[in-house]
A and B are shown apart, each in its own frame.
Chain A
């Protein structure tokens, strides 16, 4: 019995060392997850700003094309059909290319936004898992302490005449 009474606190101590030393989440990990989450939020904000700026730039480009076409038209003394057709064709082609480029850029931004959203989601899940793990370990420690206490009590009862 004497031997058993020594083993019980010893196992509790080993259990605690195991928890503190190697099994519970190191304190720096939630911090890193938190920082990574903030970086993702900042990136999302930057992307949103970039998207707005690009949208404005494409609108300006379209206006510039229209203004250029109209300015050439206004500056021309005599309008011949070929000249108007040429200008109109190039104007339309340039607008088409601009739109194509805009859609490509938009798709790239959307893809990056989606990637960031998924990364953010993964981090949120990681944070939840870490929290759950810590709670579980805390509960397990308390359960172990309770078991040890019970064992100690029973040992004490047995040894008491």
Chain B
């Protein structure tokens, strides 16, 4: 999985929770730079050894990694921690 694919995955998973967060905290959500939020998330995930382990355990098939459970779980955990959801 390359950085662009991870970027897309983080964006996708963040989008799924962003609306919920926006409903709860509209003014704070408006003040947050989403692009920066995604970029920082990608950077932190790339620094996380758990992420690399998850990618490895997802197997060698590059096409499958993007939809592989361990990677998505990790990204979801990260996004959830980030948005407090």
Contacts and interface: CB of A to CB of B under 8 A. Distances in A.
Most chain A beta-carbon contacts within 10 A, residue among B24, B28, B40, B83: B28
Q: How many B residues are at the interface, by size bracket?
A: 10 to 19
Interface stretch (A32-40, A92-100, A119-127, A134-142): A92-100
Contact of A68 (B24, B30, B37, B82): B30
A90 B28 contact: yes
A65 B28 contact: yes
B31 A90 contact: no
Q: How many A residues are at the interface, by size bracket?
A: 20 to 34
Contacts of A91: 28
B3 interface: no
Q: Interface majority SS on B: helix, strand, loop or mixed?
A: helix
A153 to B, nearest CB: 80
B63 interface: no
A89 B85 CA distance: 10
24 contacts: A61-B33, A64-B31, A65-B28, A65-B31, A68-B25, A68-B29, A68-B32, A69-B25, A71-B27, A71-B28, A72-B25, A72-B27, A85-B84, A87-B25, A90-B21, A90-B82, A90-B83, A90-B84, A91-B28, A94-B28, A97-B40, A100-B40, A101-B36, A101-B40
The 7 closest A-B pairs by CB, nearest first: A68-B31, A86-B84, A71-B27, A68-B27, A68-B28, A89-B84, A64-B31
Interface of B: 21, 24-33, 36-37, 40, 82-85
Interface of A: 61, 64-65, 67-69, 71-72, 75, 83, 85-87, 89-91, 93-94, 97-98, 100-101
